[in-house]
Amino acid sequence: MNNLENRKITVIALFVVISLIFIARLFFIQVIDDSYTSSADNQALRYVTQYPARGIIYDRHGKILVQNQAAFDLMIVPRQVEGLDTAAFCELLNITEEEFEIRVEKARNYSSYRASIFQKQLTGADYARVAENLYRFNGFYGQKRTLRIYPDSVAAHVLGYIGEVNSRDIERDTVYKSGDFIGISGLEKQYENVLRGERGREVLMVDVHNTVQGKYQDGALDVAAVSGVNLVSTLDLELQKYGEQLMRFKKGSIVAIEPSSGEVLCLVSSPNYDPNLLVGVKRAANYQLLAQNDSLDPLFNRALMAKYPPGSIFKIIQALIGLQDGVITENTGLACNKALVGCHNHPAATTLREAIQMSCNPYFHQVFKRLINKGYSSNYFEDSALGLDEWHEKVSKFGLGQRLAIDLPSLKSGSIPNVELYDRIYGKRRWAISTIYSVSIGQGEVEVVPLQMANLAATVANRGFYIDPHLVKEIDAEHDSIIHYQANNTGIESKYFEPIVDAMQAVVDKPGGTARKARIDSIVVCGKTGTAENPHGEDHSVFVAFAPRENPQIAIAVYVENAGFGGTWAAPIASLMIEKYISGTIGDTLKEQRILDANLLFEPIEN
C-alpha cells in the first residue's frame, strides 16, 4: 500500500513540476521576452527592399545623359496566395494562366514564406493600374525600384547599360543579392561601385487583406537606402548628337578629344542603337535582336574595339621619329620611286612638308629604311632586328600597340609589330626591310583603334605629349571631386612638330592637299588623310585633324568603313564636327547635307 501511495505521490509531483515549468515558460515568453511575439508577428510583417537610385550621369555642361525613372516589381509570398481569382489576376497582368502557374511554382521553389519577384519592372503607369486592384489578390504587393532612362537616346556605347546580377556576380561581390542590378558595359560598368549606391530596408505591418497598416516598431528596424553618386562626364551632348546624325547609314566611328585635358568630347560608333531598348522588361528580347539578328552589329563599339591599319596617317609618326633620330631633316627631299612601293601621281617631294602634304609612299619607305638599318650590326638581318626594336619602343610612346588608360572597359590595344612577331612569322633573323616595308606606310601588321588615332591628333596638337584620354571629369560634383589624369611624353622634341603641323595645315589648305574638303573658312584646320587597305572589300576612309592650329580646342579621328579615299568622306565629316564644336553653327550647309543624306551602307561609293 505504501508503494502505491509513493508512486501516486511521485506521479502527481511530476505533473506539478511539468505544469510549473510550462507556466513559467509561458510567463517568460508572454510577459518578459517579446521575441516570440515578434516571430509570430513575422507572419504579418513585410520586409521591403529599398533600392537606391543609381547616380545620374551628366555631360560636361550639366545636361543629363542618363537618369532614373520610377518602376515597380510585383512581389509574391506564395503561402499567402489563397482564394485567388486566377482568371481576373491574369487579365490584370495580361499573362496566360499557364504563365501564372509557372511563376507561382518558381516562387514556391524559392520559398513559400519569403517574397520573390513575380513580375519585373512595371512602369509607373502600368503599376498604378495594377495597384488599385491588389487588395483583391492576397499574397501580392508592389516594391518600388528605378529604371535607367536616356532622355536624348544617344551615347549608348559610352554610357552602357545595366542588367540583373547573376550567380557569378553574387559570388564575386557579396554586396549583391538576387534581383539587384549591375553595370554590364560602358560607364555603368566602369563606375559601378560609385553609381550603385547602398540598398535599404523597410519593415511594414500588414493585415489579413494584405493592406499595409504602418511601420513596424515605428521604423526602428528600417535602414535607409543611400543613392549612388553622380558623375560629370567629359562628353559634349550636342556634339555627340551631331556626330551620330552624321554617321547615320555609315559604318565606322568618330572620336574627338580636347587636347589640353585628354577629355573625350564625343565617341560615336556606328551603327549604334537607342540605349532605351536595353531597359525594362523588353531588355532581353531587344538584346537578342541587336546581338544576333542584326548583321551590322550595333552593339560592337568600333571606336574602342575595331582594329584597322592606320594607312598614311602613320607617316606622321615615321616623320617625327625620323626627325628626332636625325635620319632626315625638314628639308630632306627623296625621290618618289614607285619601284619601292606604289604611289599616286604627284610632283617629287623636295621637303618633308611636301612629302606629308602629297602623302608620298616611296618617301616614307626610305625614311623607314633609314630608321631600321642604322648600321648597328654588320649582319643585315641582325641590323634590321636591332633597328626595329628601337623603332618599336619609340612608336609605343605615342600610345600605340597598348591599351590607352581610358576609363571604359573592352578597349583593344591594336598592334605595332616587333622582332618577336617577325621571328615567329618568317623564322629567326630571316627577314629585313624588304620583307616588312608595308609597315612604313601604316599597312601590313600595324593595327590601331580609332581612339588611338584621335589621341595621336591630340599629341601633335600638344606638340609632343598627351593626357590619358578619359570620359569622366568629376565624381560627385557636389563635393568638387575632380579627377587628375596622367600626362605622357613621346620623347620627341617640340621643335620637330612644327614642320609636321605646317604640312598638316597644307593638307587641308593648299591646292593639291589631300583633304581640301576639310577646309573651314573661319578656322585653321590641320589634318592628315589615310586610305586604310581592306582585303575584304572597299578601303576605309580615314582622317585625323586638330583645330585651331594655335591653342587647339579639338582633336578628332574619323573612320568610315568601305568608303574609299580619306578625303572624300572622313575629312568633311571631321570638318563639320570641328566647326560645330568651335563655332556652334555650320557655314557650308551643302557639305553638311551631302553627309547627312549619304547612305554608305547600301549605295555605291562615290570618289
Q: What is the pLDDT of residue 41?
A: 47
DSSP run (H or E) holding 290: helix 283-292
Mean pLDDT of the chain: 88
Q: What is the pLDDT of residue 429?
A: 87
Mean pLDDT of 112-136: 86
| Cα–Cα distance measured from residue 456 to residue 315, given in angstroms and rounded to the nearest whole number | 12
CB count in 10 Å sphere of residue 263: 21
| Beta bridge partners of residue 267, listed in sequence order | 255
Mean pLDDT of 282-293: 82
- Grid coordinates given for 6: 509513493
- Grid coordinates given for 567: 578625303
Of 400, 446, 448, 442, the residue nearest 303 (C-alpha): 448
Q: What is the pLDDT of residue 507?
A: 93
Cβ neighbourhood burial of 5 (10 Å; 0-12, 13-18, 19+): exposed
369-410 pLDDT, tens digit per residue, is: 999 999 999 999 999 999 999 999 999 999 999 999 999 988
| Cα–Cα distance measured from residue 577 to residue 547, given in angstroms and rounded to the nearest whole number | 11
Pick the residue with more confidence: 334 or 123? 334
| Cα–Cα distance measured from residue 6 to residue 314, given in angstroms and rounded to the nearest whole number | 110
Q: What is the pLDDT of residue 16?
A: 67
Determine what percent of the chain is predicted with pLDDT higher than 70: 90
Answer whether residue 605 shows pLDDT above 50.
Answer: no
| Cα–Cα distance measured from residue 456 to residue 504, given in angstroms and rounded to the nearest whole number | 13
Question: What is the distance of C-alpha 33 from the center of its chain?
Answer: 55
| Cα–Cα distance measured from residue 559 to residue 65, given in angstroms and rounded to the nearest whole number | 25
Of 198, 360, 161, the residue nearest 276 (C-alpha): 161
187-230 pLDDT, tens digit per residue, is: 999 999 999 988 888 888 877 666 677 778 777 788 888 989 99
| Cα–Cα distance measured from residue 365 to residue 375, given in angstroms and rounded to the nearest whole number | 17
Do the beta carbons of residue 365 and residue 321 sit within 8 Å?
no
Q: What is the pLDDT of residue 56?
A: 95
Pick the residue with more confidence: 35 or 289? 289
548-604 pLDDT, tens digit per residue, is: 999 999 999 999 998 888 889 999 999 999 999 999 999 999 999 999 999 988 654
Mean pLDDT of 417-422: 95
Do the beta carbons of residue 147 and residue 121 sit within 8 Å?
yes
Q: How confident is the model at residue 15 (pLDDT cuts 50, 70, 90)?
A: low
37-83 pLDDT, tens digit per residue, is: 444 444 577 777 888 989 999 999 999 999 998 889 898 989 888 88
Q: What is the pLDDT of residue 42?
A: 47
Pick the residue with more confidence: 539 or 102? 102
| Cα–Cα distance measured from residue 245 to residue 110, given in angstroms and rounded to the nearest whole number | 48
Locate the domains of the chain by residue range: 237-281+297-597
Residues across the chain: 607
Phi, psi of 48 (to 5 degrees): -105, 120
Q: How confident is the model at residue 496 (pLDDT cuts 50, 70, 90)?
A: very high
Of 127, 252, 238, the residue nearest 562 (C-alpha): 252
455-488 pLDDT, tens digit per residue, is: 999 999 999 999 999 999 988 755 556 678 899 9
Q: What is the pLDDT of residue 6?
A: 63
159-187 pLDDT, tens digit per residue, is: 999 988 888 988 888 888 877 889 999 99
Q: How confident is the model at residue 25 (pLDDT cuts 50, 70, 90)?
A: low
Q: What is the pLDDT of residue 74?
A: 92
Whether cis (ω within 30° of 0) applies to the bond prior to 548 is: yes
Of 557, 561, 577, 495, the residue nearest 314 (C-alpha): 557
Highest mean pLDDT among 8-22, 175-189, 258-272: 258-272
Do the beta carbons of residue 302 and residue 308 sit within 8 Å?
no
Fold for 237-281+297-597, please state it.
Beta-lactamase (3.40.710)
Mean pLDDT of 431-437: 91
**Distance (Å) of CA 1 to CA 10, 14, 481:** 14, 20, 94
Which of 132-136, 292-296, 525-529, 560-564 bottoms out in mean pLDDT, i.e. has the lowest? 292-296
Measured over the CA atoms of residue 81, residue 83, residue 87 and residue 89, the dihedral's sign is: negative
